[in-house]
Amino acid sequence: MSGIDEAALNFSPASLHALNAILAIVMFSVAIDLTPAEFRALARRPRAVLTGLVSQFMVLPALTFALVWVVQPQASIALGLMLVAACPGGNISNFFTHRAGGNSALSVSLTAFATVGAIVLTPFNIAFWGNLYAPSREILRAIVIDPVQVAITVGLMLVLPLLLGVALNMRRPDITARLRRPLQWVSMGIFVLFIVLALRANWAYFLEFAGGIAGLVAAHNALALAGGFILASLAGLSAFDRRAVTIETGIQNSGLGLVLIFGFFGGIGGMAIVAAFWGIWHVFTGFAVAALFARQGVVR
């Protein structure tokens, strides 16, 4: 895959705005299923939230570095894996947790807390782990991530839709009852379609490099899911909470990853293809894991 570190994918500013809007819709579609009472219940049981955050921001980046150290991929591919691992859990994880019969309030809380934490922890994890791998260190030397801009981006994309969705569910539950199911499916479809169209615009690059990246993304995603499940089990969480932590760790916000890659890293080929492939792959694994959990029955 020579040349992937120098390749730059085509992704317009308009496409970035569209991606932000799509991710906001996905977040809103999950938030309308929640009420403040569910979050107050979590405050009385903080162990699950802390376990999820440790899994997200400590265990997954460490597992990612271990994978990179063993495989020794090219610089931009390694940094792409590390960046995806440094992002908060994807808001489509809330959708999958709901389908899996897991704790949706915990999932959304983890997404919200991780999103706020990402303002500091995402740049930190990218810099810390990226600098430990010599080939990716050169890329990082030329990059400066503005935490204020990251805060604005994630706030508009995740936190605001979350607040609006919960508020609407409190004031007009009749409206959210009608919107809930169709909006979740429509928002999911729009997100997948956007990723497909973005890949189509860069199809030559994708065909050239995706074959060598696909296996790494699949292994990375499997490590994330396994790491979340094992840590939640070791922490003694209930099956209800364990499903949420597992999916939250294994479903990353690859959309935010793309925003950061094109906003701060110039659309470097390896990074962008890793994040884009994640955007497709974790949808399939999300449905598969949710179906597996759902077959085990309702748990609390």
Look at residue 8 in the predicted model and tell me its pLDDT: 54
Q: Are 222 and 286 spatial neighbours (Cβ–Cβ below 8 Å)? A: no
Give the orientation angle of helix 104-132 with respect to helix 46-54, to 10 degrees. 30
For 81, the token pair is 């894996």
pLDDT at site 198: 67
Q: Which residue has the higher pLDDT, 16 or 280?
A: 280
Q: Which is more confidently placed, 64 or 33?
A: 64
pLDDT over 80 at 6, yes or no: no
| pLDDT above 60 (res 3) | no
Burial 88-112 (b: 16+ CB within 10 A, else e): bbbbbbbbbbbbbbbbbbbbbbbbb
* Percent of the residues in the chain that have a pLDDT greater than 90, as a whole number: 26
* Of residues 259 and 8, more confidently modeled: 259
Provide the whole-model pTM. Answer: 0.82
Lowest mean pLDDT among 6-20, 174-188, 234-248: 6-20
Residue-wise pLDDT tens digits, 96-131 = 888 888 888 888 788 777 877 877 788 889 889 988
pLDDT digits 0-9 by tens, 148-188:
776 676 677 777 887 888 888 888 888 887 877 777 777 77
- CATH code for 13-291? 1.20.1530.20
Name the residue with higher pLDDT: 141 or 83.
83
Does residue 298 surpass a pLDDT of 70? no
| Average pLDDT of the chain to the nearest whole number | 81
Q: State yes or no: pLDDT of 245 exceeds 60.
A: yes
pLDDT band at 61 (very low <50, low <70, confident <90, very high): very high
Least confident of 37-51, 178-192, 233-247: 178-192
Confidence (pLDDT) at 38: 67
- What does the pLDDT look like over 190-240, one tens digit per residue? 777 776 766 666 666 666 666 778 889 999 999 999 999 999 999 999 999
Rounded distance between C-alpha atoms, residue 7 and residue 271, angstroms: 10
> Which residue ranges make up each domain of the chain?
13-291
- φ and ψ at residue 237, rounded to 5 degrees: -75, 155
